[in-house]
Amino acid sequence: MTSDHEMIRQRVKALLDKPGNGNCADCGAAGPEWASYTLGVFVCHSCSGLHRNIAQISKVKSLILDPWTPSELEFMDSVGNNAAKAIYEQLVPAFYYCPTFKDCTVLRDQWIRAKYERKEFLCVEKQEPYSAGYREGFLWKRGRDNGQYLSRKFILSEREGVLKYFNKHDAKEPKAIMKINTLNATFQPSKMGTAHGLQITYLKDNSTRNVFVYHEDGKEIVDWFNGIRAARLRYLQVAFPLALNSELLPKVTRNYLKEGYMEKTGPKHTEGFKKRWFTMDDRRLLYFKDPLDAYARGEVFIGSQENGYIVLPNLPSTIQGYHWPFGITIVTPDRKFLFACETEVEQKEWITAFLTVINRPMLPQEYAVEAYFKHKP
Q: List pLDDT tens digits, range 23-47.
A: 999 999 999 999 999 999 999 999 9
- pLDDT, residue 376, reads 67
Q: How far is CA 266 from CA 3, 281, 290, 318, 337, in A?
A: 72, 21, 18, 15, 8
What angle (nearest 5°) sits at the alpha carbon of residue 235, between those of residues 155 and 201?
A: 55
Q: What is the CATH number of the domain that holds 138?
A: 2.30.29.30
Q: What stretch of H or E contains 181? A: none
Length of the chain measured in residues:
377
Rg (CA), the chain: 24
Asked if residue 202 lies in contact with residue 235, where contact means CB atoms within 8 angstroms, the answer is no
Count of domains for the chain? 3
Instruction: Kindly report the pTM of this predicted structure.
Output: 0.93
Is 77 in the same domain as 131? Answer: no
For helices 70-78 and 80-88, give the axis angle rounded to 10 degrees. Answer: 60
d(C-alpha 213, C-alpha 178), whole Å: 14
SS3 category, 370: helix
Is 160 in the same domain as 243? Answer: yes
- pLDDT, residue 309, reads 97
Asked if residue 48 lies in contact with residue 34, where contact means CB atoms within 8 angstroms, the answer is yes
d(C-alpha 154, C-alpha 165), whole Å: 4
- pLDDT, residue 287, reads 97
Is 194 in the same domain as 223? Answer: yes
Is 308 in the same domain as 219? Answer: no
Residue that terminates a domain, selected from 67, 89, 111: 89
Please say whether the dihedral angle defined by the alpha carbons of residues 23, 24, 27 and 31, taken in this order, is positive or negative. Answer: negative
Which residues in the chain land under pLDDT 70? 1-3, 376-377
In a domain, 289, yes or no: yes
Please say whether the dihedral angle defined by the alpha carbons of residues 155, 156, 161 and 165, taken in this order, is positive or negative. Answer: positive
In a domain, 99, yes or no: no
For residue 293, report the phi and psi dihedrals to the nearest 5 degrees. -70, 145
- pLDDT, residue 2, reads 53
- pLDDT, residue 1, reads 39
In a domain, 103, yes or no: no
For residue 228, report the phi and psi dihedrals to the nearest 5 degrees. -65, -45
Q: Which residues contact 365 (CB under 8 A, 6 or more apart)?
A: none
Q: How far is CA 149 from the centre of its chain?
A: 22
In a domain, 300, yes or no: yes
Is 63 in the same domain as 35? Answer: yes
Containing structural domain, residue 369: 258-375
In a domain, 117, yes or no: no
Asked if residue 282 lies in contact with residue 255, where contact means CB atoms within 8 angstroms, the answer is no
The DSSP bridge pattern shows strands 326-331 and 134-142 to be unpaired
Is 322 in the same domain as 289? Answer: yes
Residue that terminates a domain, selected from 219, 251, 283: 251
In a domain, 96, yes or no: no
- pLDDT, residue 172, reads 87
